[in-house]
Amino acid sequence: MKTYQDYINHCKKIADLQYSISVLNWDQEVNMPPKSAERRAQQISTLAGIAHKISTDKEFGKLLHALSKKKLSDEKKRNINESLKEYSKSTKYTTEFVQLLSKTISESFIAWQKAKEKDDFSIFAPKLKELVKLKREECNLLGYKHHPYDAMLDIYEPNSTVKDLDILFKDVRQHLVPFVKQIAKANQHNDSLMHNYFEKDKQLAFTEILLAQMGYDFKAGRQDVSTHPFTTNFSSTDVRVTTRVNENNLSEIIWSSIHEGGHALYEQGLKDENYGLPAGNYLSLGIHESQSRIWENNVGRSIFFWNYNFKKLQNEFHSNLGHVTVEDFYKAINIVKPSFIRTSADELTYHFHVMIRYEIEKDLLSGKIEVEDLPKIWNKKYKEYLGIDVPSDSFGVLQDIHWSHGSFGYFPTYSIGSFYAAQFFNQAKKEINQLEHKIEIGNLKPLLEWLREKIHIHGKLFAADELCEKITSEKLNFKHFLNYAKKKYSKIYNLKP
């Protein structure tokens, strides 16, 4: 291996293996019969080991170091530098560790599914304990300056640290918590209209209309049903979403589908010619989450969006919604109140859910708390931050899939992404003439084109803070989200300034 083309070819081989693993993971969560769980864990583990060997090939490392010293275009140099970072990380792992971690994750996922079904954390705890032990080892393998959790954060949101996030969540506590308390004292709205019987197939059909309206390409993807909604991709030409259906709660599928659709639009917007390269990969999970949140909240929970789409929804479910006004529907989908389930939470208290997980994860990885302590600590924090008593494990510590995937460090990106989304949408309104009016007439193409130009096509060619500054002329600033929230909800709840 001597040339930049050799580098591209090698990256494509790595991507082929990694996306093959993704196909098996997707099938595991969507179609796989229960009896094949053990063999599937073995298959994924084997492929993960092969992918790791190719990723850490010494000749590939020599090529990266050689190319890093050559005169290249800015894009090629960025690709090489990003690949060098990943190579340096990957070589800190042994193939045995990678295979063991992969196998433990597959087994943990199956244990989590059973525990959630039985509403019993003790079923999941032994596997989670094994996984936490491995993740603590991983923190030490990767290295960190101040806190073990920094090593995990860097995987999902590069350069993010506990120090940074402590400041961010301090803003949430100081500014968002008091505002939510102010809302709680106002006259409350009713969302009972969302809790009738809504036929599953009609729900799925309606959300596919919304996804198409957003610009999701069904020739390069599909929507399925899973326990926990997610987006996965095997290239920019095969990006799949899953959603969750509750026939007695219309909210679950609408926000799941729009949210995952936002993720999928990002993946479909990456340049296929950069397959396998950093320039063809998403920038960070915070930026990824900004794409789902901008569609789910800034667009999908806006009055403008429903001024166009509510009639269609009424036509599908006329017996339930025929007597409802769009204004009442808008208030019902924007109720702010404490709840147990993060994925169903309103866009303000949502960040209290994330904050709870952040606090638990950093203490778990530092050894301050242990796996067996989780249900008690979880329930205590929900009482402290949201004022509610968690009734069971499935409504509490078992509700999220992330720990069974070993995704420690992932949760904070949900809040980071929401704050980026508010900042980006604010900028989009400045640059796209009458954006909210365009949304009101069902024209979402200008927003998608803006996101493609500003974010999607760049892949990893910029750091997250660089990209944010390039787009908005400043780094991530919580005030944009706070201003958006106060303007919107003060009007909904008739609050005085």
Mean of pLDDT values over 24-49 = 90
- By percentage, how much of the chain surpasses pLDDT 90? 93
CB 385 within 8 A of CB 446: no
Q: Rounded distance, CA 180 to CA 416, Å?
A: 19
Structure confidence by residue, pLDDT tens digits, 254-266:
999 999 999 999 9
Residue with tokens 């989780």: 374
Instruction: Name the token pair of 47.
Output: 């492929």
Q: H/E element holding 434?
A: none
Domains of the chain: 4-143 (no CATH), 162-492 (1.10.1370.30)
Is 260 one of the catalytic residues?
yes
Instruction: Name the token pair of 441.
Output: 């007439």
CB 461 within 8 A of CB 280: no
Confidence band of 496 (pLDDT split at 50, 70, 90): confident
Q: H/E element holding 235?
A: strand 231-235
pTM over 0.85: yes
CA torsion sign, 24 to 153 to 402 to 342?
A: negative
The per-residue pLDDT for 139 is 97
Residue with tokens 């980026």: 420
Q: b vs e for 13-41, b when ≥16 Cβ sit within 10 Å of the residue's Cβ?
A: bbbebbbbbbeebbebbbebeeeebeebb
Degrees to nearest 5, angle at CA 67 with 65 and 68: 65
Confidence band of 248 (pLDDT split at 50, 70, 90): very high
The set of residues, in sequence order, having a beta carbon less than 8 Å from that of 96 and lying 6+ positions away, is: none
Instruction: Name the token pair of 265.
Output: 């639009």
CB 102 within 8 A of CB 18: no
Question: Is 358's pLDDT higher than 90?
Answer: yes
The catalytic position among 82, 130, 260, 361 is: 260
SS3 annotation, 43-68: HHHHHHHHHHHHHCCHHHHHHHHHHH
Structure confidence by residue, pLDDT tens digits, 52-83:
999 999 999 999 999 999 999 999 999 999 99
CB 135 within 8 A of CB 406: yes
Instruction: Name the token pair of 72.
Output: 């290249």
Mean of pLDDT values over 286-312 = 98
The per-residue pLDDT for 343 is 83
Residue with tokens 């198409």: 212
Instruction: Name the token pair of 150.
Output: 């920094």
